[in-house]
Amino acid sequence: MRWAALALAAVARAVVTQPKPTVTPPAPAVAPRTGKLGEFDFDKLAPYEQLRGEFDREKILGFMAERPLVVAKRLGVVASTFKRTRDAWEADEATAPERRTRGGMLRDAIASLGPVSVKVGQTLSQRPDLVGEEACEALKALQTRNAAFSNEAAFAYMADEFGLEHPGLLAPGIREPAAVASLGQVYRGATHGGQDVAVKVQRPDALRTVAVDYTCFAVVWALVEKWWAWKRGAAFDNGDIGEVVDTVADGIFDELNYDLEAVNAAEFKQSLDFLGFVDVPTFLPELSTSRVLTTEWIPGQEKRAKFPTSKAPISAACTASLVLTGFVHADPHEGNLMLQDDGKVVFLDFGLMSRVDGDIMESFATGIRACLAEDYATLAFVFQKVGAMAATEGGSSRFGALAEVLNGKLSKRWKMFTPPYCLLLIRTFLTLEGIAAQVDPDFNIYEMSLPWALRRSLAPTSPQGVATLRGSL
């Protein structure tokens, strides 16, 4: 597997990342469990614990460079799973719709590939316009019904973290998880004082899986870049895909730190308190660690049951985050949203969040207004401001000519790319728009965002935004 080691060496380069505005709480030092338990070999998982904490590209790639066979094997598994699933999907095409089994096969295949693939599948489950109704319905199960890991391993993790056996925390008679997500599973339990709680336990192999999958993406992209340079005679020039991969990995590594999730939940609620209808579960810090998280149990129902009445507040909360508060829930699928009897929307799972700078929020607000007004010259200018295209090409302005193209049809010669910071935001709004469109085909997320866009435009925080407002008065 010499090629795998060479590819790993090729991608072991430093990248410049923007510092996070908040400091990630350090993960507590927990002695790694050893031996085998359930389906996990903790002796093999223990070395990966040194990667826990903030995402560190160089550290991960250096660590995995010493394990090229692990990377090569994973690449083989992904390739064979993709081919097997594609062949089965095509073979089932001639079967009567009511007898098809390919939807379940697709779901199981994606679930088997781990957290990164599940995140993609969850997003696609809200977009029947992209993957079709059949695939969409099959993938919805990835929101709360992934493949569970053994209760034996979950309870052992609790015992490791809290120093007590699971009956001391969980209510008698409850032995199966209430929900299974990509990185962990949730049990309904009770404290000694009788409070109903939700206990989220991280998959023992989550850190290893994320590290290996990230390395696979990095290796594949490094090889693609080399092929591109050889085939085209020039470097790839339509955005830094490597930085996009790093951004996704950074977000998932944050999800692995449950201490940070508790901090995120408190900040998210505070940022949207002005709406009056957004709530989050209360966290129990005395029963939480970096790998086990305990919150109050929220009685309610998944939002989909009352979506026609809850669509507006959910959309309002998400769009207000984008252009007003700058702290966005990046994983708002149906399994992470609940509607209480009093009409409040409860957001769950705050591991994957995204921050938006003030000047970017103002550009988004301007872009929303320009899109609704069909002001393509301004919209093209916004593309430049948010980093979706370069300002000039060949010494001449690009956005002026692009505005003309937007009035007709986009041409391939206009190099548009997605800035890495936008990736999680796109996931948020692809999901939100997809959920809404299934109930209301005429739902327009830009119209829903307009009040917040106007509010942001009238209360700018950046020097350029202030200057723009003064110039328009």
Is residue 293 domain-resident? no
Element (H, E) at 161: helix 151-162
The count of domains in the chain is 2
342 plus 218 within the same structural domain: no
What's the confidence (pLDDT) of residue 266? 93
Count other C-beta atoms under 10 Å from residue 374's C-beta: 10
Rounded distance, CA 21 to CA 43, Å?
36
Residues 260 and 25: beta-carbon distance below 8 Å? yes
pLDDT > 90 fraction of the chain, expressed in percent and rounded: 18
> What is the band of 36 on the pLDDT scale with cuts at 50, 70, 90?
confident
| 257 CB burial (10 A radius; 0-12, 13-18, 19+) | buried
Rounded distance, CA 209 to CA 115, Å?
8
Rounded distance, CA 52 to CA 260, Å?
13
Rounded distance, CA 324 to CA 268, Å?
12
393 SS3 class: strand
Is residue 188 domain-resident? no
DSSP 283: B
Is residue 231 domain-resident? yes
346 plus 367 within the same structural domain: yes
Residue 110 pLDDT > 70, yes or no? yes
Residue 275 tokens read as 């709406």
Instruction: Give the model confidence (pLDDT) of 438-456 as tens digits.
Output: 667 777 777 888 888 888 8
Count other C-beta atoms under 10 Å from residue 419's C-beta: 17
Is residue 288 domain-resident? no
271 plus 375 within the same structural domain: yes
Last residue of a domain, one of 256, 291, 323: 256
Instruction: Give the model confidence (pLDDT) of 91-105 as tens digits.
Output: 888 788 778 878 888
252 plus 370 within the same structural domain: no
Which one of 35-44, 265-274, 342-351 scores highest in mean pLDDT?
Answer: 265-274
Residue type, 436: A
Residue 275 pLDDT > 70, yes or no? yes
- Provide the residue range defining the domain that includes 348: 265-280+301-473
Comparing 162 with 31, the larger pLDDT belongs to: 162
Residue type, 98: E
Residue 415 pLDDT > 70, yes or no? no
Instruction: Note if the pTM is more than 0.95.
Output: no
Q: What are phi and psi of 287, to 5 degrees?
A: -120, 30
108 plus 241 within the same structural domain: yes
228 plus 370 within the same structural domain: no
